[in-house]
Amino acid sequence: MDLSRGLPADPDTPAHRFPEAGPAPGAAPPLDRELARALATSARGAREPLTPENLAARQARDAADRPRPALGELRADGRFEVEELCVPGAPGDPDVTLVSARPAGLAGPLPLLYYMHGGGMVMGNARSVLPRLLDSLASGPELAVISVEYRLAPATRYPGALEDCYAGLAWTAAHAAGLGVDADRVVIGGKSAGGGLAAALALLTRDRGGPAPIGQLLLCPMLDDRGATFSSHRMEGVDTWDRTSNATVWQAVLGDLYGSADVPAYAAPARATDLSGLPPAYVEVGSTEILRDEDVAYAQAIWRAGGDAELHVWPGAFHGFDTLAPRAALSRDARASRARWLRRVLAPAAPSPPAPPSSGPGSGPAR
């Protein structure tokens, strides 16, 4: 096990050095017209940034206001089989809650999407993302979903959330038969903070020799704590996610590590120096997101390491565009692209071609 592969990158390594990015010339890309209309009619565009001072109050408000559907609601009149599982956490850590869901009536082991919710690693819950995920199964590949209830910062700092996700994945793989899932066809994924956790989980399970996912679905992932990219400055005031909020949540997650050169790649995957040996990645981001350049750079780093990455930069899209405007054409295109990628990655391996006939003695034509 080579744990050095998850150590922080040398900030002087050219492949990982970002340019100094102060106020940059030029304008931000224009918003997609449908998305701009949706943003204009939403309070989200004028949302107060997260700060260390208001974080506790915003967390309390989110916990009270964010939908947390009951299991009966998630079952949707019998369309899905849903159960909540309590599984062992890492040694010395509390148990981890997993919410398991699958289309009802499907026999045989199903491929699995092991999913981490968004919320900046400071908000959100495992149940709130499931209605949207389950709805997507109607037009996507037949698969099961497990959503992870990981601990939130700053009450639990790095590596608590990641260890929760790893413990849940390891338990799931060990109990796949009882869950009715195929341990050899697991995709890990998530959105925003959940996408960053999925990328970190891919690194961690590689380096620990843990369960081997066959894909990583990274939707607008939070990957870089440094906030030094061009887009992190240029998209300020355009994107729904702002630099102040981004810095606040990274500080909440990292604590005393924040702002240092000692941040591990398992905390901020953009710092990884070795992205070889990872499962195929689907990386998606909007062109007007502050996270755009770190996500594009991550896909490029996977390619440089000889890996497989499918990159989508949706023109005129802001952070969380498909949640805010689910019926917009760009949102529909994004969901269709994710579904196509999942079908390809989860397709059973083709059988090996038959061996050619032997050319040994006696195998030639009869005379």
For the stretch 207-253, pLDDT in tens is 999 999 999 999 999 999 999 999 999 998 899 999 999 999 999 99
CB 231 within 8 A of CB 103: no
Rounded Cα–Cα distance for residues 123 and 118 (Å): 8
How does pLDDT run across 264-291, given as a tens digit for each residue? 999 999 999 999 999 999 999 999 999 9
| Cα 48 from chain centroid (whole Å) | 25
Question: Beta 181-191 vs 80-87: how paired, if at all?
Answer: unpaired
**CB 224 within 8 Å of CB 210:** no
pLDDT of residue 107: 82
pLDDT of residue 141: 81
Q: How many CB atoms lie within 10 A of CB 314?
A: 23
Six-digit token pair at 215? 């894909």
Q: Is residue 189 a contact partner of residue 256, using CB atoms and an 8 Å limit?
A: no
Query: Which pTM was predicted?
Result: 0.89
Distance of alpha carbon 265 from alpha carbon 6, whole angstroms: 5
| Orientation angle between helical segments 329-346 and 33-40, nearest 10 degrees | 110
46 touches 306 (CB < 8 A): no
- Cβ burial, residue 65 (10 Å; 0-12/13-18/19+): exposed
Q: Encoding tokens for residue 247? A: 């810095």
Q: Which two tokens stand for residue 10?
A: 């040398």
In Å, how far from its chain's centre is CA 214?
Answer: 14
φ/ψ of residue 310, rounded to 5 = -110, 120
Give pLDDT < 50 ranges for the chain. Answer: 1-24, 45, 360-367
- What's residue 139's pLDDT? 67
Which candidate, 109, 277, 117, 115, places its Cα nearest to that of 205?
277
